[in-house]
A and B are shown apart, each in its own frame.
Chain A
Amino acid sequence: MTPHRPPPRPRGAVPPSTGERVYRALLRLYPSSFRRRYGDDMMAFYRDRARHAPRTVRARARLWLALAGDVAVNAAAERLAFLVERTRPVPAAGPVSTPREESMSVLIQDVRFALRGMLGRPVFSATILATLALGIGANAAIFIVVNAALLRPLPYSHVEQIVAFVHADPYSQVSEGEFVDYRRGLSAFAGLAAYSTPEATVGAGDESIRAGGARVSSDFFSVLGVVPELGRTFAPDEFLPRSASQVTVISHALWQQQFAGDPRVVGRTVTINGTPVTIIGVMPAGFDFPKVTTGFWTPWRFNPDSLWGRNNHYLRMVGRLAPTATIGAARAQAGTLDARWLKDFPETYGVGKPIVAAITPLGDYVLGASRPYLGALLGAVGFILLIACVNVASLLLVRGEARRKELAIRTALGASRHRVVRQMLTESLLFAIIGSALGIGLAWFGARALVALAPDGLPRLHDVGVDYRVVAFTTAITILTGLLFGLGPAVFGARNDSITALREGGRTSSRGASGVARRVLVVVEVALAVVLLTGAGLLVRSMVKLQAIDLGFSPARVMTMRLTVPPVGYNDTTTDLLFRDVLASVGRVPGVQSVALDGALPISGDDSDWSIMIDGRVIKNIGDSPSAKPEQVTPGYFSTMGIRLVRGRDFAESDRPGAPPVVVINQALANKLWPGVNPIGRTLKMFSDQAPWLTIVGVVGDIRARGFQGAIPETMYFPYAQSAASAYYMPRSMSLVARTALAPADVANAIRAAVHSVQPRMPISEIASMDDVVGQSIAARRFTTVLLVGFAGLALLLAGVGIYGVISYGVSQRTYEIGVRMALGASPGSVLALVMNEGIRMTAVGLVLGLAGAAVVTGFLRSLLVGVGAADAPTFIGVGVVLAAVAVCACAFPARRAIAVSPTEALRND
């Protein structure tokens, strides 16, 4: 047997380094017997390890991370093994039981004892359980949502190889010629597919609906690695330009809605924009690429011999990397190709407008926008859980003090310290387990509520559920919370000096180690609440600033809906007539003040950019030409939307085909093309030989057509009636906007009826008030902000309760002292100061720590902030004031009780 004492360090050894001291401190987490046996060998091991690790900061960080992880896991495991060993009784004569049975019986005993203890103090236990259930429930609920949206892999095979491939602004999309060149020239891709997302009127039987579609190139489904649930996807010959067969693959959702999940749907016919098309397949549920709303896919029949113009960027691409290629290699190859195009097609890509490939992993492309919001929420609930743990720990500490005498007696009767620690830990874990069971119940409903409240923009929330990740996460946080709030009180409880406790007769002072611990816990709690409050405050301020931004139009009391001309039987002239009749009919609806049409609604509508020519300027290359966002509108559009007319006139009914073609531009375009000059009377035209010159008759105010945070697009407005000649084509699908005297929702049905009285077969979709359209654009932000404010309120409440608990307990423990002071002539004011002082001091320390922490943590929120810095003084001051107010309230109640102490009673009671 080797001696257990560590040998003296060799003579002449250098004093221990900081790292050694830290590591030795970490070793204290192991049970002492283990430490005695292996401690100095582990120190030697550490020295070897440190000596052989590179001296870079990175390597050091990695070393300490590994060491900390190792200690955390193994010290906990060893302690558990040690406790089990320790509680094993000495084998006696008689029936021998296995160690497992022994430890089980001890465990059952502990659990039974803990349960009895819980039931004996129902209010205390209920408080703890409610706190834990809230903390764990909130975490699990948010995690379920985050898991559904972000963590679950996209349902494509080897999704890590799939990338989204578009262009950086100003091109943002890809033209046919570019797609062909990319597909031929990039060896880093095993497959590359292009798609566009037209909307279409889908008719099945008598009913027709507007549905999102995708026209896809031949490799689309194989790039994504998905197979249909029913039927097949497209055959190669179905992509040929001359192919006569009209086929489509529909989504699971469309199959359920329009065909009630009929298993014989394959082979049936639907009409897409009036053309009969055969359904050849149904995609599985959850496959919603490229859009959540995509209802059908059709083959894109492009003719490689007659491509559309290279400057017509209307496609997006999705690619699968070759097995050996990296995304970096793909970017490099695409970059080389782009640079060559700049030389080969100078007429397309101007020097000022280089074309830049943007290749991102598909997951980032689909989920990127919602990531920071969900991250902020997950962080916030993490804080809530920490605060809940701190609260419970401080409750248990108080309880531990009250139980000192009981523990002292048990120790005196021969219970080992480890047995006592084990018992208290069992209690904590039991609390954690019951609390988390309640919490998971809450989370189940919470997650459902979150999904119901979540804005439509959040992707992939259609099948939120519990999978192994959720189970693992909840189990982990349950165990962690149990240890976190249980370990401290247990250690303090076991450190109990039984003789003193018995001598004091169970009366305690709040000056002991556990009193300090409780104060530290409150400080921590306040600090955590401050961080959370600051985060919420910053988001609220961003929200306020955002909504104060002038949109340039007034969305209140404007009803909108999308109208589509039935696909068969209408040419440009009859389409124009149909819409004129519709406008007249809607205009007669009671409550409608004015009505107009718009090709693409602000904020929710598509965004395109057309190259133009201006009078008096010679431009050779389309790449060097100016461009603007096109918008086809009917007379009265500007007044209906509340867009300011700055100069000139609005469109009139006389701006018809045959009349001189006219155009209205916004201020941004006017300032860009004619700075300091009145543009009325000037002319512009589309970048095409056939296009006529258009005379500018008006200038209107800028609107934030891309949302509160988007840049203001330079815009040109065409009269709808002239658009076939002046702006390439006359759109068949238009948004109706109606300014109403009543709430928009009240007239929606009447407007629909008025539309259908003119043309019963006209599909109507996207019915929404303009306020909702605007609200939708910031729905994710609003959702996050509201939740975060709720969490911050919860944190504030918990912190207040924490301060109250400690001060209140302090007062009850010091009744005797206060009584003596009062008997000796202390004024109520000085007693008040005595009590308040403590609370204020704790709050102040917590506040300072919290604000310092907030300054660091809010940096992570930076991408979500608008108009406020991460270190926003008003927010920080506001948080300080709110917290101070809560702290004063939390101290005031116990302080009042302290003043009310009657000296005679206090002294008599002892």
Chain B
Amino acid sequence: VPSRPSPESLLPVKPVELLVLSMLSAGDRHGYGIRQDIVDHTNGALALEAGNLYRTIRRLEHDGLIDETGRRPAADSDDERRRYYRLTPFGRRVLAAELERLRALVRLGEARRVIAPLTA
């Protein structure tokens, strides 16, 4: 059995990959669904096209961060069947590690007064 690399060895995650992983953390999505989530999250600033998205998916699949959960019809469209993707447990650990890394960076920025600290 090939041993998995540690999540830290995959850091930093590319911005697009981070977005895809984050969207999948909410549950399974098909390709267009991931795109729409990203559009909503970024207020339309980032709208992936198919090639960009599926190449990202290919890389994430290849590294074992996501896998597919089979085909099923999408709720909001015709009865066409689509592949859905989910975060693997390993992918969740990578995502968490990346977010921890970013949190440390945010703390640094706050400490140095680049951004105002969030007062909860």
Contacts and interface: CB of A to CB of B under 8 A. Distances in A.
Mostly, the B contact residues are mixed
Interface string B75-103: 00111111100000000000000000000
A49 B32 contact: yes
A41 B31 contact: yes
A45 B50 contact: yes
Given A67-B49, A75-B51, A38 B57 contact: yes
A21 B98 CA distance: 40
A516 interface: no
Contact of A10 (B53, B79, B83): B79
7 contacts: A2-B71, A42-B51, A42-B54, A45-B35, A45-B54, A70-B50, A73-B52
B27 interface: no
A37 B59 CA distance: 13
Contacts, number: 69
A41 B51 contact: no
A549 interface: no
Contacts of B58: 34, 37-38, 78
Contact of A44 (B51, B57, B80): B80
Contacts of A77: 55
Contact of A46 (B30, B50, B77, B83): B50
Most chain A beta-carbon contacts within 10 A, residue among B47, B57, B83: B83
Nearest to B79: A10
B70 interface: yes
B82 A70 contact: no
B17 interface: no
Interface string A10-34: 1001000000000000000010001
Interface of A: 2, 7, 10, 13, 30, 34, 37-38, 41-42, 44-49, 51, 66-67, 69-71, 73-75, 77-78
A88 to B, nearest CB: 14
B68 interface: yes
Contact of B53 (A34, A45, A75): A45
A904 to B, nearest CB: 60
Contact of B32 (A2, A30, A38, A44): A44
A583 B95 CA distance: 89
Interface string B25-62: 00000111001000000000001011111110110000
Contacts of A78: 51, 55, 58
Contacts of A34: 54, 58
A450 B29 CA distance: 58
Nearest to B76: A48
Contacts of B49: 49, 66-67, 69-70, 74
B54 A38 contact: yes
Nearest to A43: B50
A34 to B, nearest CB: 7
Contacts of B47: 66
Nearest to A39: B54
Contacts of B35: 45
A44 B31 contact: yes
A34 B56 CA distance: 12
A7 B70 CA distance: 12
A2 B50 contact: no
A457 to B, nearest CB: 43
A34 B54 CA distance: 9
Given A45-B53, A46-B50, A10 B32 contact: no
Nearest to B47: A66
Given A38-B58, A41-B83, A74-B51, 6 more contacts: A41-B54, A51-B77, A69-B49, A74-B52, A74-B55, A77-B55
Contact of A42 (B50, B68, B79, B81): B50
A14 to B, nearest CB: 9
A71 B31 CA distance: 16
B32 A45 contact: yes
Nearest to B81: A7
B63 to A, nearest CB: 14
B52 A70 contact: yes
Contacts of A38: 54, 57-58
A10 B78 contact: yes
A138 B81 CA distance: 53
Nearest to B33: A48
A2 B54 contact: no
Contacts of A2: 68, 70-71, 83
A34 B78 CA distance: 25
Contacts of B82: 41, 44
A808 B61 CA distance: 53
A70 B83 contact: no
Contacts of A45: 31-32, 35, 50, 53-54
B78 A71 contact: no
A48 B32 contact: yes
Nearest to A85: B62
Contacts of A44: 30-32, 80, 82
A34 B58 CA distance: 9
Nearest to B49: A70
A70 B16 CA distance: 14
A70 B51 contact: yes
Contacts of A49: 32, 49-50
Contact of B77 (A7, A37, A48): A48
A42 B55 CA distance: 11
A47 B32 CA distance: 10
Nearest to B55: A74
A10 B50 contact: no
Nearest to B48: A70
A709 B85 CA distance: 68
B99 to A, nearest CB: 27
Given A2-B68, A7-B81, A44-B82, A73 B51 contact: yes
Nearest to B57: A38
A729 B52 CA distance: 73
A37 B54 CA distance: 10
A658 B70 CA distance: 107
Nearest to B71: A7
